[in-house]
């Protein structure tokens, strides 16, 4: 903490229209999304859900654009003190912690299913009598034989770790290095290198997403591994899907940072936006390594 | 206290805008605190009306007023609205008003995000309440929304319920990040963590709990959404999933959640009791450690909500003993409050009455919690009115009383006027009698075997249900008196001094009453070695 005489004044913005638009955008997005899902599931044909959903997405995207522009502008106008920067650092750190807990819920679900439920349904362990419902069911993992095959058609196979997933691991681990090289380039003020390493990182991220899409296609087309193929498909797509969504968000963040780097933003002491994106990227990378070990290697 | 510099002015000092847009666009922590508190009170009345529908139906056995389907919607919505719409926003509102003033900060750390956190809530609850008018009705599966009631057998409005929960989660997480960053980064120079008022400490830990478990709630409702609309099998044993998985993930969120609703209350009571006992809080350090211990334990006891679901015996025993451990730090707290009052020069203004009632009645709720923690006994109590009595004792005369106490205690600082003490005391006694008449008999009918969440019951439960309903209406209508007192206080009354209470300590009492729109634009100098 600074002592009294070195204390800079902390910037408190006056009224802002940004948050109310963000609230409205968020509301329209989820209200439209919810209507859309209900229309889909009930088979009703209506454009209401999709229209509201798209409107919400637009409002949200525009608001975020203006919000971040405003923050960057204020930063360039030297309105932020060192203490303000610390608030951003803490804020981003706690946000990433909340994301960690979000994934923890799905990893926890996988753990519980895999170590207890699959056996218990088959009558193994203390809950012996439960195998009376589906006597033909054999507990195994990955679950290629669902307890109730009429409701959930089991997959013919699952995706092994040593094909595309290994490639994806190499892509993401490499991208963690390239983003760090970009950071070093910022520290040394080497403009061209910042842009170069960022482009490399984004390319690796996009390559990852393409591989993931190919993998999903394989799963659906060749293995019958789908969202409704029982609990293996459920946990597999939930974990890899949300991870993929986070890679997408991370890539968008990096693209924004690339744009800013090309405009000449970021110096050694003033590059929090970049750092936040880089931390997010490393977080996404760590989640992938957990996925690779727990879902692909130990799970198949 | 004289060393503290009062009332700073600097060049970009400005007051509030006029009109409605002040409230929509504001980034001021006091405005946003006020918004949160009014929103919370509105939700308290809405959720309270739902409770009165429930109690009116249960006044006599048989079906008189509502159909069972609607009764289920009322129990569900009452719980959701009170937990997420009344209690949690009230504490966030208090944090907004008080944390910056208590630590000498100019505002919350991220003021625009602060506005965003609040304004998500009216949308979220508007959407949740709109489900009442949808085809198939509102969510009817209980506030714990157990699968498969909330998935396979749910009304279509469940989709909007899920997204409303997502919005509340986003709001809570952003609000908590704001509180935590404010506390960690904006304390006045020289204020160490162990110098902070306990309200700030308890909110620091509460914010940590919120950031840790709200994403887990988001995870579990997302799994529901996938099961409902995309054919996944998380909670369906036919595909290798398990409805019990829902309960585990839900209660991993749910148990820390109940401490989220009580830790700030501990902080409030720890501020009020020393003031009116005119003594320093007994055992400050142990209060901090006890709060941290309770928070830690809250993560490892969740399955005590599910003893009858068929867990292995080792699991039942573990969760039983772990749960009982919580009584130790909680006991430390109750002991410290009593020890603070011991030989104090006590006076009994309204905030103190609520605080003392909190200590006594929360302890009753805590002790019935210990009874419920005993596995073999819980097989009898589970899902009976005994459980209802238990958690209402910790939430109503616990959390809600602490919020009332806080309102009376800090209203003079917020408005600059003293509230009407006679009316305040009347409100307290009506509430105190009302709460006990409502919930104490529920212990008896619960132990006698009346299950919760049914619109009808066997004849032998009739008398106590009637008593309980009378109490509920007494308590409910007494809250209109509270509304009257608050409005009266805002509009005028005896001018409050800056210190307001003669035993009060803390930076918020060093600024004038009412607190200026901007406080501590430059940080205050702290009194030497005080628990500022």
Domain with residue A273: its CATH number is 1.20.120.80
In a domain, A6, yes or no: no
Strand partners, B495: B417
B401-415 vs B29-57: helix crossing angle, rounded to 10 = 140
- pLDDT, tens digit (0-9, with 9 covering 90-100), for B390-399: 999 999 999 9
B349 is catalytic: no
Percent of chain B with pLDDT over 70: 96
DSSP element (H, E) containing A77: none
Mean model confidence pLDDT for chain A: 93
Q: For residue B128, what is the nearest residue in chain A, using CA coordinates?
A: A31
Q: For residue B21, what are its two tokens? A: 């847009």
**What pLDDT sits at residue B157?**
97
Which of A131-140, B81-90, B182-191, B304-313 bottoms out in mean pLDDT, i.e. has the lowest?
A131-140
User: Residue B376 pLDDT more than 50?
Assistant: yes
User: Residue A92 pLDDT more than 80?
Assistant: yes
The residue from A29, A62, A80 where one domain ends is A80
**What pLDDT sits at residue B532?**
44
- A99 and A209 belong to one structural domain: yes
**What pLDDT sits at residue B13?**
53
Is the distance from CB of B107 to CB of B515 less than 8 angstroms?
A: no
* End-to-end Cα spacing for chain B: 9
- A245 and A154 belong to one structural domain: yes
Is the distance from CB of B488 to CB of B408 less than 8 angstroms?
A: no
User: Residue B305 pLDDT more than 80?
Assistant: yes
In a domain, A200, yes or no: yes
Whole-number Å distance between alpha carbons of A51 and A59 = 12
Q: What is the ipTM of this complex?
A: 0.95
Residue that wins the pLDDT comparison between A3 and A111: A111
User: Residue A183 pLDDT more than 90?
Assistant: yes
Contacting B residues, span 208-267, partner chain A, CB-CB under 8 Å: 211-216, 218-220, 222-223, 225-226, 228-234, 236-242, 244-245, 248-249, 252
User: Residue A128 pLDDT more than 60?
Assistant: no
**What pLDDT sits at residue A109?**
97
The rounded radius of gyration (Å) of the Cα atoms in chain B is: 23
Asked if B163 has any chain A CB less than 8 Å from its own CB, the reply is yes
- A73 and A144 belong to one structural domain: no
Phi, psi of B235 (to 5 degrees): -115, 25
CB contacts of A15 in chain B (<8 Å) are 17, 21-22, 25-27
The pTM assigned to this predicted structure is 0.95
Task: Show the DSSP H helices in A77-163 as ranges.
Answer: 82-112, 118-121
- A172 and A282 belong to one structural domain: yes
User: Residue B10 pLDDT more than 60?
Assistant: no
Whole-number Å distance between alpha carbons of B172 and B211 = 8
- A167 and A233 belong to one structural domain: yes
Residues B185, A86: C-beta atoms closer than 8 Å: yes
In a domain, A2, yes or no: no
Asked if B20 has any chain A CB less than 8 Å from its own CB, the reply is no
Q: How far is B288 from chain A (nearest CA, A)?
A: 22
- A27 and A155 belong to one structural domain: no
- pLDDT, tens digit (0-9, with 9 covering 90-100), for A44-89: 888 999 999 999 999 999 999 999 999 999 999 999 999 999 999 9
Q: For residue B155, what are its two tokens? A: 């009304």
In CATH terms, B20-510 corresponds, of 3.40.50.2020, 2.30.29.30, 3.30.230.10, 1.20.210.10, to 1.20.210.10
B463 is catalytic: no
In a domain, A5, yes or no: no
| Domain, as residue range, for A19 | 11-80
User: Residue B529 pLDDT more than 60?
Assistant: no
Residues B240, A94: C-beta atoms closer than 8 Å: no
Report the 10 Å Cβ neighbour count for A171: 21
CB contacts of B311 in chain A (<8 Å) are none
C-alpha closest to that of B154 among B165, B142, B170, B164: B142
- pLDDT, tens digit (0-9, with 9 covering 90-100), for B257-289: 999 999 999 999 999 999 999 999 999 999 999
C-alpha closest to that of B90 among B412, B490, B399: B399
User: Residue A6 pLDDT more than 60?
Assistant: no
B143 is catalytic: yes
In a domain, A162, yes or no: yes
**What pLDDT sits at residue B2?**
36
Mean model confidence pLDDT for chain B: 95
- A86 and A33 belong to one structural domain: no
User: Residue A2 pLDDT more than 50?
Assistant: no
If you average pLDDT over residues B425-447, what whole number do you get? 98
In a domain, A188, yes or no: yes
If you average pLDDT over residues B495-512, what whole number do you get? 94
User: Residue A216 pLDDT more than 50?
Assistant: yes
If you average pLDDT over residues B343-369, what whole number do you get? 97
C-alpha closest to that of B55 among B36, B75, B69, B80: B75
**What pLDDT sits at residue A262?**
96
Per the residue annotation, which of B157, B275, B330, B510 is the catalytic one?
Answer: B330
If phi over 0 gives left and psi between -120 and 50 gives alpha, with beta otherwise, what is residue B383?
A: left
DSSP label of A227: T
DSSP label of B3: T
The residue from A62, A80, A98 where one domain ends is A80
**What pLDDT sits at residue B1?**
34
Q: For residue B172, what are its two tokens? A: 């809570």
Is B26 exposed, middle or buried (CB count within 10 Å of its CB: 0-12, 13-18, 19+)?
Answer: buried
- A51 and A173 belong to one structural domain: no
Q: How far is B330 from chain A (nearest CA, A)?
A: 27
Q: Which residue has the tokens 């005119």?
A: B278
Whole-number Å distance between alpha carbons of B134 and B106 = 45
B382 is catalytic: no
Is the distance from CB of B464 to CB of B441 less than 8 angstroms?
A: yes
Is A66 exposed, middle or buried (CB count within 10 Å of its CB: 0-12, 13-18, 19+)?
Answer: middle
| SS3 state at B311 | coil
User: Residue A258 pLDDT more than 50?
Assistant: yes
Is the distance from CB of B387 to CB of B452 less than 8 angstroms?
A: yes
| SS3 state at B451 | strand
B270 is catalytic: yes
User: Residue B207 pLDDT more than 70?
Assistant: yes
User: Residue A124 pLDDT more than 50?
Assistant: yes
**What pLDDT sits at residue B3?**
39
Largest CA distance in chain B: 72
If you average pLDDT over residues B127-139, what whole number do you get? 97
Per the residue annotation, which of B304, B413, B427, B518 is the catalytic one?
Answer: B304
**What 3 state SS string does B153-210 have?**
CCCCCHHHHHHHHHHHHHHHHHHHHHHHHHHHHCCCCCCCHHHCCHHHHHHHHHHHHH
Whole-number Å distance between alpha carbons of B357 and B210 = 27
Is the distance from CB of A269 to CB of A82 less than 8 angstroms?
A: no
If you average pLDDT over residues A120-127, what whole number do you get? 75
Whole-number Å distance between alpha carbons of A263 and B360 = 63
Which of A13-22, B147-156, B523-532 bottoms out in mean pLDDT, i.e. has the lowest?
B523-532
DSSP label of A224: -
- A90 and A235 belong to one structural domain: yes
- A21 and A136 belong to one structural domain: no
Q: How many domains does chain A have?
A: 2
Confidence of residue B4 (pLDDT cuts 50, 70, 90): very low
- A53 and A33 belong to one structural domain: yes
Is the distance from CB of B381 to CB of B326 less than 8 angstroms?
A: no
Residues A126, B245: C-beta atoms closer than 8 Å: no
C-alpha closest to that of A142 among A242, A224, A216, A233: A233
Strand partners, B417: B495
- A61 and A147 belong to one structural domain: no
B488 is catalytic: no
The residue from A52, A80, A108 where one domain ends is A80
**What pLDDT sits at residue A133?**
83
The gap from C-alpha B102 to its chain's centroid, in whole angstroms, comes to: 20
- Measuring CA to CA, how many Å separate B51 from each of A201, B25, B139, B237, B362? 56, 34, 16, 35, 21
Report the 10 Å Cβ neighbour count for B410: 24
Largest CA distance in chain A: 77
Whole-number Å distance between alpha carbons of B122 and B393 = 28
User: Residue A1 pLDDT more than 60?
Assistant: no
Half-sphere exposure of B358 (CA within 13 A, CB side): 31
**What pLDDT sits at residue B18?**
85
**What pLDDT sits at residue A9?**
82
Which of A154-158, B272-276, B436-440, B476-480 bottoms out in mean pLDDT, i.e. has the lowest?
A154-158
In a domain, A1, yes or no: no
């Amino acid at each position: 903490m600074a002592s009294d005489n070195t204390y800079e004044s902390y910037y408190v913005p006056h009224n802002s229209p940004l948050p109310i638009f963000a609230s409205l955008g968020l509301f329209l997005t989820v209200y439209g999304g919810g209507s859309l899902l209900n229309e889909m599931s009930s088979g009703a044909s209506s454009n209401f859900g999709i229209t509201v959903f798209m409107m919400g997405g637009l409002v949200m995207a525009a608001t975020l654009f203006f919000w971040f522009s405003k923050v960057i502008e204020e930063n360039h106008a030297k309105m932020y003190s060192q203490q303000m920067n610390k608030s951003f650092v803490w804020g981003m750190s706690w946000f990433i912690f909340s994301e960690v807990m979000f994934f923890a819920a799905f990893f926890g679900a996988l753990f519980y299913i895999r170590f207890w439920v699959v056996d218990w349904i088959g009558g193994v362990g203390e809950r012996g009598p439960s195998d009376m419902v589906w006597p033909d069911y054999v507990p195994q993992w990955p679950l290629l034989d669902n307890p109730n095959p009429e409701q959930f058609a089991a997959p013919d196979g699952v995706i092994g770790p040593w094909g595309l997933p290994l490639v994806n691991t190499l892509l993401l681990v490499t991208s963690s290095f390239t983003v760090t090289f970009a950071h070093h380039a910022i520290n040394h003020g080497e403009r061209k290198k910042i842009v170069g390493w960022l482009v490399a990182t984004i390319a690796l991220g996009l390559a990852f997403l393409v591989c993931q899409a190919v993998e999903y296609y394989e799963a659906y087309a060749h293995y019958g591994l789908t969202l409704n193929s029982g609990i293996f498909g459920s946990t597999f797509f939930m974990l890899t899907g949300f991870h993929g969504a986070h890679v997408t968000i991370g890539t968008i963040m990096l693209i924004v940072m690339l744009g800013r780097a090309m405009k000449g933003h970021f110096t050694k002491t003033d590059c929090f936006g970049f750092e936040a994106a880089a931390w997010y990227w490393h977080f996404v990378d760590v989640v992938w390594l957990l996925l690779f070990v727990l879902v692909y290697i130990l799970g198949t | 206290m004289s060393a503290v510099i009062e009332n700073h002015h600097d060049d970009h000092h400005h007051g509030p805008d006029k009109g409605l847009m002040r409230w929509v666009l504001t980034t001021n922590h006091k405005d946003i605190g006020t918004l949160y508190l009014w929103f919370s009170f509105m939700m308290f009345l809405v959720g309270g009306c739902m409770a009165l529908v429930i109690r009116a139906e249960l006044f006599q056995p048989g079906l008189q007023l509502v159909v069972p389907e609607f009764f289920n919607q009322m129990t569900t919505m009452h719980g959701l609205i009170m937990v997420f719409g009344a209690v949690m926003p009230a504490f966030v509102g208090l944090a907004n008003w008080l944390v910056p003033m208590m630590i000498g900060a100019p505002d919350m750390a991220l003021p625009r995000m602060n506005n965003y956190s609040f304004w998500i809530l009216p949308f979220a609850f508007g959407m949740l309440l709109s489900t009442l008018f949808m085809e198939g009705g509102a969510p009817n599966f209980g506030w714990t929304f157990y699968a498969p009631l909330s998935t396979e057998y749910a009304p279509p409005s469940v989709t909007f319920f899920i997204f409303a929960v997502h919005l509340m989660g986003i709001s809570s997480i952003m609000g908590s990040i704001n509180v935590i960053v404010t506390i960690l980064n904006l304390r006045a120079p020289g204020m160490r963590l162990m110098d902070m008022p306990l309200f700030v400490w308890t909110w620091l830990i509460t914010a940590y709990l919120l950031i840790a478990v709200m994403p887990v709630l988001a995870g579990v409702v997302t799994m529901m959404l996938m099961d409902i609309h995309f054919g996944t099998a998380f909670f369906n044993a036919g595909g290798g999933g398990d409805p019990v998985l829902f309960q585990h993930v839900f209660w991993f969120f749910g148990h820390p959640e109940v401490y989220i609703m009580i830790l700030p209350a501990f902080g409030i009571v720890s501020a009020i009791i020393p003031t009116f006992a005119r003594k320093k809080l007994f055992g400050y350090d142990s209060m901090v450690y006890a709060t941290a211990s309770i928070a830690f334990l809250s993560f490892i006891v969740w399955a005590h909500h599910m003893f009858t679901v068929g867990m292995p015996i080792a699991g039942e025993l573990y969760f039983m003993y772990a749960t009982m451990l919580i009584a130790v730090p909680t006991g430390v707290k109750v002991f410290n409050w009593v020890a603070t009052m011991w030989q104090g020069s006590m006076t009994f203004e309204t905030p103190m009455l609520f605080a003392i009632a909190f200590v006594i009645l929360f302890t009753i709720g805590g002790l019935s919690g210990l009874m419920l923690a005993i596995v073999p006994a819980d097989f009898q109590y589970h899902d009976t009115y005994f459980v209802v009595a238990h958690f209402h004792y910790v939430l109503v005369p616990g959390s809600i009383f602490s919020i009332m106490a806080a309102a009376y205690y800090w209203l003079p600082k917020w408005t600059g006027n003293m509230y009407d003490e006679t009316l305040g005391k009347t409100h307290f006694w009506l509430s105190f009698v009302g709460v006990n008449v409502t919930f104490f008999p529920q212990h008896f009918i619960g132990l006698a075997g009346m299950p919760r969440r049914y619109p009808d019951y066997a004849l032998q439960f009739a008398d106590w249900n009637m008593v309980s309903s009378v109490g509920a209406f007494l308590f409910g209508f007494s809250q209109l008196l509270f509304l009257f007192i608050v409005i009266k206080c805002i509009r005028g009354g005896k001018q409050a001094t800056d210190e307001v209470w003669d035993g009060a300590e803390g930076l918020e009492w060093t600024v004038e009453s009412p607190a200026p729109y901007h406080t501590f634009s430059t940080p205050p100098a702290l009194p030497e070695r005080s628990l500022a």
